[in-house]
Amino acid sequence: MQEKTLKARAGMPILILFILLYAAAIALIIVGGVLLDRGAAALGGVLLGTGLLWVIVGFIPFLGLKIIKPQEALVLTLFGKYIGTLKEPGFYFVHPFAVAVNPAARTRLGQSGDVESDSKFNVTVSQSGNVSLDSRLSKKVSLKILTLSNSRQKVNDALGNPVEIGVAVMWRVVDTAKAVFNVDNYKEYLSLQCDSAVRDIVRIYPYDMAPGIDTTGDGQPDEGSLRGSSTIVAERIRKQLQEKVKDAGLEILETRITYLAYAPEIAAVMLQRQQASAIVDARKMIVDGAVSIVEMALDKLNENDVINLDEERKAAMVSNLLVVLCGNRDAQPVVNSGSLY
């Protein structure tokens, strides 16, 4: 179903007209009562009955007065038929029996723009603390940019390691008719599809860069990972989510990964693995540097002809230098006051 704009009348002239009619009805009641007292029963009865009838049923046209604020919309149906959507801000008059439809009006997903109900005072309190007199039965559809932050999910990555991930989604309604009529509840639909898209994309990537993993689908291993390619992962989630919610009249503007970590049951083991990898890399760097220093020392000794060492003494010198340079603690010097041999 496609959205169509409802052409409604201006509300202020209609409001003034109905107020004048109510005033006229009250005047008819007074005049009718006076005529009845003076013996003009026929005319007085007609005037009195007309005035009372309007006073009783005259509130019905007031039901057609609608106020639309900026970035709000009202989807209206008349006797079950969709008649259009009011989107422009202003004061309007529509058919008194037109009914606003919004199945997601009471759905609260912890997202911006939603409010929490205070049942004690029968008012609504916004997340910023401001009290609003809007009824909980308000059926207006927000056209603002909203942020959905679902709860963290536990998903297995490409290597089978369980990771926890949280995603924030910036979205808005672009077609009110599709949002209201194509799905049962567009907020819950978005939340469910968001969880599904996150799981589908996260399973493609390893948490850290791993050899032999193809994350792009081109058949070639690459360096993609959840930790190192978070922007690319978020964009792929956005595209897949947009495809899923297109028929619901929603637009996904942006997705961001707000939380990423190994699951608690393997977090300690993965931390030890990262520490071991860091230690190995550091040791490798230290050994490479130590070997370079030893080579430089031997070259300098030979170049300057400071001392001539046989192969056995060179091996001992290399061993001592490597122990000093690669050791975790400071070396304790030993002074030899005798001969070299």
Q: Which of 224, 245, 262 is where one domain is finished? A: 262
Q: Under a CB-based contact definition with an 8 Å cutoff, are residues 169 and 192 in contact?
A: no
Residue 250 and residue 308 share a domain: no
Please state which of the ranges 2-11, 104-113, 215-224 shows the lowest mean pLDDT: 104-113
Residue 224 and residue 158 share a domain: yes
Residue 275 and residue 258 share a domain: no
Domain extent, residue 315, equals: 268-326
Residue 255 and residue 278 share a domain: no
Task: Please count the other Cβ atoms lying within 10 Å of the Cβ belonging to residue 44.
Answer: 19
Q: For the whole model, what pTM was predicted?
A: 0.71
Does the structure show a pLDDT above 80 at 252?
A: yes
Provide mean pLDDT across the span 322-331: 69
CATH at 213: 3.30.479.30
Residue 97 and residue 81 share a domain: yes
- The percentage of residues in the chain with a pLDDT greater than 70, rounded to a whole number, is 84
Distance from CA of residue 21 to its chain's centroid? 50
Residue 295 and residue 241 share a domain: no
Q: Which of 208, 234, 262 is where one domain is finished? A: 262
Q: Is residue 189 part of a domain?
A: yes
Residue 254 and residue 200 share a domain: yes
d(CA 11, CA 91): 5
Pick the residue with more confidence: 176 or 223? 176
pLDDT tens for 22-62 read 888 888 888 888 777 777 777 778 888 888 888 888 889 88
d(CA 15, CA 58): 12
Burial (Cβ within 10 Å: 0-12, 13-18, ≥19) of residue 2: exposed
Q: Which of 210, 229, 262 is where one domain is finished? A: 262
Residue 283 and residue 245 share a domain: no
Residue 190 and residue 242 share a domain: yes
Q: Note the pLDDT of residue 329.
A: 66
* 137 confidence band (pLDDT: 50, 70, 90): low
* 313 confidence band (pLDDT: 50, 70, 90): confident
- Number of domains, the chain: 3
Mean pLDDT of the chain: 81
Provide mean pLDDT across the span 180-189: 93
Q: Is residue 187 part of a domain?
A: yes
pLDDT tens for 215-241 read 888 888 888 888 888 999 999 999 999
Residue 179 and residue 77 share a domain: no
- In terms of average pLDDT, the best of 37-46, 109-118, 222-231, 318-327 is 222-231
Q: What value, to the nearest 5°, has the Cα angle with vertex 307 and ends 301 and 312?
A: 90
Q: Note the pLDDT of residue 135.
A: 42
